[in-house]
């Protein structure tokens, strides 16, 4: 049985990897792509999503989301990682075919989960503003979603604590207030954070093989990855890139790739540790405890990286065959 998902995304380079993965795998029905600022401006995010829909004949609705965080000042697009337009060296035309759904993303999410209660999984791979706005507008949706899967956060497992500050991951840091709202809501959440996404790598050789074996899809992934790999080489010191956003899709397809740890989560919303995610994993009762009355959520702490990489490769190659 297919898992129906709405993918909330700020289409930069690794978002491309994730969107095509979701479209490629036969166990996922990609119903909607809601866009969010983050890697790019909201205008570029929606244009990039419409471009992918046009290029790969996606059936998903494209819906424009929030342009800024709920409280904090915007951080701005991560041009150094994803390029000016979000797809690295690949330029998206100023005018693309198709139109976005007229509803704001938060309303689209509310309408979708009400239309199919218990059937839709929300997968968020950018800042969490759209999900927080949906919660604010209609708190009842916590009982209507199947699950919420988030690529974001870092909990110190496997030595991974942050990528934009020493203790904060980019998606959470972009809107920590939204993240705290989403992670403390009573819906079931699985967090796929840096603890596991930085344990998997797309190497140059891996991406070269996709280019050679996965037709136009593999070529496009290879093309957008050039800028990303330069960033990783020059700024991070790696001859490969981490598998961030596709890891959230991999969890939806095969949860057994990951080991999860349960406990309530809070997000630091200001100060030097802004965007830090902290999970309470003991049952001790403390005199002062901002975690005690919050819903327990799941955090991924280990990943079967070789199996994840093979799942991705197999999915994209089979997808390329279907597109011929």
Positions annotated as catalytic residues are 244
C-beta separation of 294 from 182 below 8 A: no
C-beta separation of 103 from 130 below 8 A: no
Chain-centre distance of CA 178, in angstroms?
Answer: 15
| Whole-number Å distance between alpha carbons of 275 and 167 | 7
| Whole-number Å distance between alpha carbons of 30 and 252 | 12
Rg (CA), the chain: 18
Quote the tokens at residue 127: 């800042």
118 CB-near residues (< 8 Å, 6+ apart): 144, 145, 146
Number of CB atoms found within 10 A of residue 159's CB = 10
C-beta separation of 278 from 184 below 8 A: no
Q: In what order do the strands lie in the sheet with 61-63?
A: 61-63, 28-35, 3-9, 120-124, 147-151, 189-192, 297-303, 258-263
Residue 118 forms beta bridges with which residues? none
| C-alpha triplet 183, 189, 191: angle, nearest 5° | 85
């Amino acid at each position: 049985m297919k898992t129906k998902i709405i993918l909330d995304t700020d289409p930069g380079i690794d978002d491309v990897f994730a969107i095509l993965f979701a479209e490629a795998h036969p166990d996922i029905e990609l119903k909607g792509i809601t866009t969010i600022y983050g890697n790019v401006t909201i205008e570029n995010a929606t244009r990039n999503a419409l471009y992918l829909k046009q290029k790969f004949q996606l059936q998903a609705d494209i819906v424009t989301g929030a342009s800024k965080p709920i409280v904090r000042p915007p951080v701005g697009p991560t041009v150094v990682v994803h390029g000016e337009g979000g797809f690295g060296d690949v330029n998206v035309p100023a005018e693309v075919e198709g139109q976005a759904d007229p509803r704001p993303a938060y309303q689209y999410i509310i309408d979708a989960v009400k239309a199919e209660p218990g059937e839709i999984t929300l997968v968020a791979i950018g800042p969490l503003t759209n999900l927080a706005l949906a919660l604010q507008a209609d708190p009842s949706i916590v009982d209507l979603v199947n699950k919420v899967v988030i690529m974001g956060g870092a909990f110190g497992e496997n030595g991974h604590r942050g990528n934009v500050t020493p203790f904060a991951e980019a998606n959470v840091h972009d809107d920590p207030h939204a993240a705290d709202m989403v992670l403390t809501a009573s819906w079931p959440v699985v967090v796929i954070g840096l603890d596991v996404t930085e344990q998997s790598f797309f190497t140059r050789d891996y991406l070269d093989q996709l280019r050679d074996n996965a037709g136009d899809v593999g070529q496009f992934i290879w093309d957008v990855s050039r800028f990303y790999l330069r960033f990783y080489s020059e700024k991070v010191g790696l001859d490969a890139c981490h598998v961030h956003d596709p890891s959230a899709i991999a969890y939806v397809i095969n949860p057994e790739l990951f080991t999860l740890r349960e406990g309530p989560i809070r997000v630091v919303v200001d100060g030097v540790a802004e965007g830090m995610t902290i999970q309470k994993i003991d049952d001790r009762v403390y005199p002062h405890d901002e975690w005690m009355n919050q819903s327990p959520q799941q955090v991924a702490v280990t990943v079967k990286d070789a199996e994840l990489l093979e799942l991705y490769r197999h999915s994209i190659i089979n997808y390329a065959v279907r597109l011929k």
